[in-house]
Amino acid sequence: MKMVDMNKTHNVGIYCRLSKDDGDSKDQSASIGTQKDMLIKYVHEKGWNLTRIYADDGFSGVHFERPNFKAMIRDIEDGIINTVVTKDA
C-alpha cells in the first residue's frame, strides 16, 4: 500500500476534455466551463495549489494525441505539477 504524505504540497493541474463524441457540446453538465468551475472549487476546498488548467475541446479520449494532454504530461515530467484532477463521465 502506498503511504500518502499529508504534508505534501499539491501543485495541481486541472484537465478538462469534451469530445464531439461525448454528445451535445451545449450540455452544461459536461461543458468545459462547467468542468473547470467544479474542479477549481474542489481544488480550493482541499487547500491545494492550483498551478495550471489544461483543456482539450473536441478531442476524443480514445487516443492521447491531444495538445493540452501532452502539455500536461510534459509538466508532470518537469515537476511543475504533481497532482492531476479531472472529471470522469
Predicted model pTM = 0.78
Look up the CATH number of the domain holding residue 75: 3.40.50.1390
Asked, for residue 4, whether it belongs to a domain, the answer is no
One digit per residue, pLDDT tens: the chain, 89 residues? Answer: 444 566 679 999 999 988 665 554 454 446 899 999 999 999 999 999 999 999 998 877 777 889 999 999 999 999 999 999 999 86
Question: 33 is in which domain, residue-wise?
Answer: 16-86
C-alpha cell at 16: 478538462
- Phi and psi, residue 39, nearest 5°: -75, -35
Catalytic choice (19, 25, 29, 31): 19
Domain count for the chain: 1
60 classed as catalytic: no
Cα–Cα dist 72/75, whole Å: 5
Asked, for residue 80, whether it belongs to a domain, the answer is yes
C-alpha cell at 77: 515530467
Asked, for residue 38, whether it belongs to a domain, the answer is yes
Asked, for residue 9, whether it belongs to a domain, the answer is no
Asked, for residue 45, whether it belongs to a domain, the answer is yes
Distance from the Cα of residue 42 to its chain's centroid:
12
